[in-house]
Structure 1
Amino acid sequence: MAFYTEEEQTDDYLFKIVLLGDSAVGKSNLLSRFARDEFYPNSKSTIGVEFQTQKMVINGKEVKAQIWDTAGQERFRAVTSAYYRGAVGALLVYDISRHQTFESVGRWLNELHTHSDMNVVTILVGNKSDLKEGREVKTAEGKSLAESQGLFFIETSALDSSNVAAAFQTVVKEIYDILSRKAIQSQELKHKETGRIPDGQTVVLEADDIDGGKMDGQSQKGWCCSS
């Protein structure tokens, strides 16, 4: 996947991000809350794949996140798996009020790693944090799993919107930071080879740049929060 920067123009980046997790964990409502600030209490399960593009500004640069909402039902997995390819970010969602959805996290991670073209910046999302009385998955459990897998972690509520924007922004900013470091390294290399920095260039984000969530000795595990 290539990302381009042009001199004297607003840098425009397009990152493909996937939502994954069991059916009814709230993936679609997380996207609806983030993209349109809407919530549908009686929303139906996603059939196949849907996506929306959301713009963000990071360090003065415009970034477009193309967010894909993948169906959680088993019978659609063969259809949606193709859409993991090319993804550079992922939100892996479980429902804090249903421990079974938390137990599925490992399977979804395996599927993501199997079908993705590269290691993906991933955040583990414990959704429905507003259901305090019905909680079956402790915050500490989520943090522990995220740490063991080298993932970011956050608890969200699509209902009251807590931490929803933060979940998406964390993934996008980490991808952007990796890409920025890659661009700087590429510019420095070009400068050494030619004696000048080129007017424009193509920057390719490769698997080696996101190695288990680590870049230049930094690990994804250092960031986590809850509602």
Structure 2
Amino acid sequence: MSLRELKVCLLGDTGVGKSSIVCRFVQDSFDPDINPTIGASFMTKIVARNNEIHKYLIWDTAGQERETFHMLKTWVKELQHHGPQNIVVAIAGNKCDLVDMREVQTEMAKNYAESIDAIFIETSAKTAINILEMFEEISKKIPCTEPCANDRPSFKLGRLQPESSSRCC
């Protein structure tokens, strides 16, 4: 089995549920009284998927703004301008369990995600709706690292396989 490190950084406004998403994914727990993140926090989770082991390296950043959908577009522009070429953007419409408090319509978010080739999934950290699925979709879109393709190639665990089956994708 090959090991892939998947670097994930959560960006979003204060109170949108970034820390709750990470806690639900990593610890399968939800704390309604979770404290706001100061600076950033870091968590990891290892998941077996197909013939790979995925190690998620997750940075949960502190939120600062309160204009969620507007700021999302600003962050995406910054990532596209300053981030790596093969960056994967995933948009979580969190708190989908709070239907009466919806601020952004599903269709609007879907259309925006499609326009920037991003993943869009409505989630609820509170009820665990689509949290695992969101991270699975991210892992599907993150390009595989071929041996010697860059400084951090994927590597094999266990017995060596014949050369023809050494690809990780």
TM-score of Structure 1 vs Structure 2, range by shorter chain: 0.7 to 0.9
1:142 paired residue among 89, 109, 121: 109
For residues 13-61 of structure 1, the C-alpha deviation after alignment (integer angstroms, 9 at most, x for no partner) is 2121111111110000000000001111111211111111111122221
Establish whether residue 25 from structure 1 lines up as the match of residue 16 from structure 2: yes
What's 1:11 paired with? 2
Contact 1:29 1:39 in 2 (8 A): yes
Contact 1:146 1:152 in 2 (8 A): yes
Contact 2:24 2:125 in 1 (8 A): yes
Structure holding more helix per residue: 1
Aligned pairs (5 A) from 1:1-227: 10-73=1-64, 100-175=67-142, 178-179=143-144, 183=146, 201-204=147-150
What's 2:157 paired with? none
Contact 1:58 1:173 in 2 (8 A): no
Q: Which runs of 5+ in 1 are unaligned?
A: 1-9, 75-97, 184-200, 206-227
Query: How many residue pairs are counted as aligned between the two chains?
Result: 152
Alpha-carbon offset, residue 116 of structure 1: 2.3
User: Are the structure 2 counterparts of residues 117 and 148 from structure 1 closer, same or farther at C-alpha, using a change threshold of 3 Å?
Assistant: closer
The amino acid across from 1:108 in the alignment is W
Contact 2:2 2:51 in 1 (8 A): no
The amino acid across from 1:46 in the alignment is T
Task: Measure, in 2, the Cα distance between the counterparts of 1:140 and 1:117.
Answer: 28
Contact 1:18 1:67 in 2 (8 A): yes
Alpha-carbon offset, residue 115 of structure 1: 4.0
Q: TM-score, normalised by structure 1?
A: 0.62
| RMSD, matched Cα | 2.0
- Secondary structure, in 3 states, of the residue corresponding to 2:10? strand
Task: Measure, in 2, the Cα distance between the counterparts of 1:72 and 1:45.
Answer: 8
For residues 173-225 of structure 1, the C-alpha deviation after alignment (integer angstroms, 9 at most, x for no partner) is 221xx31xx63xxxxxxxxxxxxxxxxx42339xxxxxxxxxxxxxxxxxxxx
Contact 1:49 1:71 in 2 (8 A): yes
Task: Measure, in 1, the Cα distance between the counterparts of 2:52 and 2:101.
Answer: 41
Regions of 4+ moved over 2 Å: 110-119, 201-205
Task: Measure, in 2, the Cα distance between the counterparts of 1:111 and 1:44.
Answer: 27
The amino acid across from 1:20 in the alignment is L
Contact 2:14 2:63 in 1 (8 A): yes
Q: TM-score, normalised by structure 2?
A: 0.82
Instruction: Tell which has more relative contact order, 1 or 2 (C-alpha 8 A, sep 6+).
Output: 2
Report the structure number with the largest CA radius of gyration: 1
Task: Measure, in 2, the Cα distance between the counterparts of 1:20 and 1:65.
Answer: 16
My pick for the range that moved more, 35-44 or 108-117, is 108-117
Contact 2:16 2:94 in 1 (8 A): yes
> Percent of pairs identical after alignment?
40
